[in-house]
Copies of this chain bind each other. A is one copy, B any other.
Amino acid sequence: MTPERALALLRHAPIFQGAQEADLSPLAERGHFLGLMRGQHLFQAGQPVEALYVVASGSVRVYRLARGGRRELTLHVEGPRQLVAGIAAFQSRAVYPAHAQALQSPTEVLALPVEAVRQAVFNTPTLAQAVIAYFARRQAELLGRLDSLVFSELGERLAAYLLEHAAETPHALPTNSELAALLGTVPEIISRKLGEFYRLGLIVLERRTVRVCDVAELARLAGHTVTAGDAAREAGR
């Protein structure tokens, strides 16, 4: 039973698009499913890499911790069919470069032993090609993340986040701590900024959801190098 389910999952995972079913089935046979509760860790940064994971249900957050553990930065959140530790699996002296934990209960993942993955990928040119394309995409995302964190202020990042995740408003919002980890700050500041956006009439908050009111203005905040202070000044004249 497990192999069929595993195979179905792999077949639909974006990273394996373009692969032959015949190439995937040996991999599927080596995999096994794991169930996780909210908050439970899939692995910790620094542990040797044993497996690569494909999310089957729920979601997994991958994050780095500052020295001392006072702050954390969420690198990405992966939902069904997405990979966790996909890149780490191909490093030679491989230890996980980040922590991974389930965000929901229950979360189910398919664990694929790294040797099995490497073997499958290195023996299957189409797979190798898919993996290379996947890596390139991830790298581009990471670069975007990097300079948004370095170049833009919190207001811009928050505005961008709201626009991106609130296609259908109202939309459930993560907790302030989760948002803070995502945007590289602390919960208090998120609280203030959201309050500020509300006062500017950009959003409405109600019971853990946001409704975006002024898409155009949010986009301006997100896109240009414009601080909320500027916006207030402009609104006031």
Contact = CB atoms under 8 A, between A and B. Distances in A.
Interface of A: 64, 66-68, 70-71, 73, 75, 87-88, 90-92, 97-98, 121-123, 125, 128-129, 131-133, 135-140, 142-143, 145-147, 149-152, 184, 223-225
Contact of A66 (B66, B97, B135, B225): B225
B136 A87 contact: yes
B140 A139 contact: no
A215 B92 CA distance: 31
Given A125-B122, A128-B129, A139-B135, A147 B91 contact: no
A150 B87 contact: no
B132 A132 contact: yes
A146 B202 CA distance: 30
A68 B225 contact: yes
Contacts of A71: 151
Contacts of A147: 64, 66, 73
A223 B68 CA distance: 11
A92 B133 contact: yes
A75 B128 CA distance: 26
Contacts of A66: 147, 151-152, 225
Contacts of A67: 151-152, 223-225
A125 B127 CA distance: 11
Contacts of A90: 132-133, 135-136
A142 B133 contact: no
Nearest 10 Cβ contacts at the A-B interface: A66-B151, A128-B128, A135-B135, A90-B136, A91-B136, A87-B139, A90-B132, A64-B147, A150-B184, A68-B225
